[in-house]
Structure 1
Amino acid sequence: MKKVLYFAAVALMLLGCNSKKDKNASENDDVATVTSDTEDTSMEVADFNITPISHATMVLEWEGKTIYVDPVGGAEAFAGMESPDLILISDIHGDHLNAETVTAVIADGTGIIAPKAVADKLPEELQSVTTILNNGANTNMKGFDGFTFEAIPMYNLREEALKFHEKGRGNGYIIEKDGMRVYISGDTEDIPEMRNLNDIDVAFVCMNLPYTMTVESAADGVLAFKPAKIYPYHYRGTDGLSDVSKFKELVNNGDTNIEVIQLDWYPEKE
């Protein structure tokens, strides 16, 4: 009789543990669902981390290297971030280039990659650590073993917008490491050079009027080069924020294999 009672007690304990495990699994599933529907402040995949700062400005952390893209907003915008090993600057406009911010965040050993038009506007002490990279060129940087940086054209196509970004002045960028390719569009429309890109794993594509392009043009361009993951960014125009939900809908209606990921590029709006 004692043995029967013992085994009955063990059975009840196991049943209770399994019920608790199922409840916890259900709760975790609910949390995962909620998280996936929220606007992330950062995104981390393997050893590649993205922190949006604002609009066109971001910090990429990739295999121990920290890259600031178009740093503006003063040193306070980067509070808590590692100092940059490299700074990428795409264009001369104030939402991409702020020499005071670059001076404030740069550290010993930090390099800069920029087109000539940007380099010409930097103070001498920053020019001395700047590698000029113009459209179509690529380079390897000291201390960035295995990384390649390529300058991609960025410019306007619409007649009324040609005054904003002339071809050859600014850079989009492709960063490649161990076969992983990351594309940063800079200020552009859906130009042939973007549409013809290949094997892009992560893409950041702009969409704001009147300076770059509509969400429709951005979606059409993305569907042409089919990145694995696309992050809409740089989507504040003169009439407010572009409809990035519509962008996601257009992209996924065209290709469900492209993952559209929305990060919080405008924390000041909250």
Structure 2
Amino acid sequence: MKSTFLLTATLAAFAVQTQAQTTTTAPTLRAPADQIATKKGPLTVQPITHGSVVFTWNGKTIYVDPYGGAEAYAGLAAPDVILITDIHGDHLDPKTLASLSVGKALMVVPKAVADKLPAEYQAQVRILGNRQQLDTLGMKVSAIAMYNLPEAADAMHTKGRGNGYVLNLGGKNVYLSGDTEDIAEMRALKGIDVAFVCMNLPYTMDVNQAAQGVLAFKPGIVYPYHYRGQSGLSDVDAFKKSVNIANKKIEVRLRNWYPAAK
């Protein structure tokens, strides 16, 4: 009887301990990472949420528009480079920045973002305007225009305020649209291997606009991202269908950028 009691107590204690470990070490809810081959090793693409993504390449970690709180980045390496596209809170999120280990990161941002960053980050900032470039850490960063159409002073995204980016990583060109519509600057892109393209009304463009823009510049791979709008999530399946009916060579990768959405 005594041994049975001790066994029961031991098993109960083990169950409590296991439950505690499960609670404290449970993996963050994220879409699985992808890998894309480059001349300098694999580029790892880790979707985070909305317009946020983390790249790991050549021993460096790049955060794009870090947003969503520290929990969204649990288990990921601290950034070497942070790219921020715009001043809105789903791109420039001081609370998330403050919760992460960003003290050694180079922050590449447009001037409007630099003007709003807390003073503690100013020494880390490199300002890029549209059409400007930066070579750093073995990669090239080019700032691309992003804005609403028709152009207007009261638009949610005015021309020149924010940046899309093209990164050259080991011979692969990676385009990040930021908040844009189907603008001429996006359509004129050449040699894009991987593209991240937004589609969320009323802030950027609808699914059809996004598809037509992608068909114009013909990336090898495209990820629909930043697709949450006022009416919920955009129909990314319809985007994929529209693109591939017109061009089967473009690989549309659908990933869950909103794993916590119900």
Q: TM-score range by the shorter chain?
A: 0.7 to 0.9
User: Where do 1:35-184 residues align within 5 Å?
Assistant: 41-46=32-37, 47-141=42-136, 144-145=137-138, 147-158=139-150, 163-184=155-176
Task: State the one-letter code of the partner of 2:227.
Answer: Y
- Does the 8 A contact of 1:40 with 1:262 survive in 2? no
SS in 2 for 1:170: coil
Task: State the one-letter code of the partner of 1:113.
Answer: V
CA distance in 2 between partners of 1:192 and 1:107 (Å)? 34
SS in 2 for 1:139: strand
- Alignment counterpart, residue 226 of structure 2, candidates 218, 222, 234: 234
Task: State the one-letter code of the partner of 1:45.
Answer: I
SS in 2 for 1:148: strand
CA distance in 2 between partners of 1:106 and 1:88 (Å)? 15
- Does the 8 A contact of 2:152 with 2:158 survive in 1? no
- Alignment counterpart, residue 249 of structure 2, candidates 251, 254, 257: 257
- Does the 8 A contact of 1:103 with 1:126 survive in 2? no
Task: State the one-letter code of the partner of 1:139.
Answer: L
Task: State the one-letter code of the partner of 2:186.
Answer: M
TM-superposed deviation, 1:160: 8.8
Q: Which has the higher helix share?
A: 1
Task: State the one-letter code of the partner of 1:207.
Answer: M
Q: Deviations over 1:219-258 (max 9, x none)?
A: 0000000000000000000000000000000000110000
Task: State the one-letter code of the partner of 1:138.
Answer: Q
- Does the 8 A contact of 1:161 with 1:210 survive in 2? no
Task: State the one-letter code of the partner of 2:234.
Answer: S
Task: State the one-letter code of the partner of 2:35.
Answer: E
CA distance in 2 between partners of 1:161 and 1:139 (Å)? 29
SS in 2 for 1:198: coil
Q: Deviations over 1:105-125 (max 9, x none)?
A: 233421100000000000111
CA distance in 2 between partners of 1:138 and 1:160 (Å)? 26
Q: Deviations over 1:72-94 (max 9, x none)?
A: 12222111111101100000001
SS in 2 for 1:175: strand
For the structure 1 residues 206 and 161, does the alpha-carbon distance in structure 2 shift closer, same or farther, using more than 3 Å as the test?
A: farther
User: Where do 1:212-251 residues align within 5 Å?
Assistant: 212-251=204-243
For the structure 1 residues 194 and 162, does the alpha-carbon distance in structure 2 shift closer, same or farther, using more than 3 Å as the test?
A: farther
Where does structure 1 lack aligned partners over 5 or more consecutive residues? 1-38
Larger Rg: 1
Give the aligned length.
Answer: 229
Task: State the one-letter code of the partner of 1:150.
Answer: S
CA distance in 2 between partners of 1:190 and 1:218 (Å)? 6
CA distance in 2 between partners of 1:236 and 1:109 (Å)? 31
- Does the 8 A contact of 1:89 with 1:114 survive in 2? yes
Superposition misfits of 4+ residues, deviation over 4 angstroms: 159-162
TM-superposed deviation, 1:162: 5.6
TM-score by length of 2: 0.84
CA RMSD of aligned residues (A): 1.6
TM-superposed deviation, 1:163: 1.7
CA distance in 2 between partners of 1:127 and 1:255 (Å)? 44
Where does structure 2 lack aligned partners over 5 or more consecutive residues? 1-29
Q: Percent identity?
A: 54
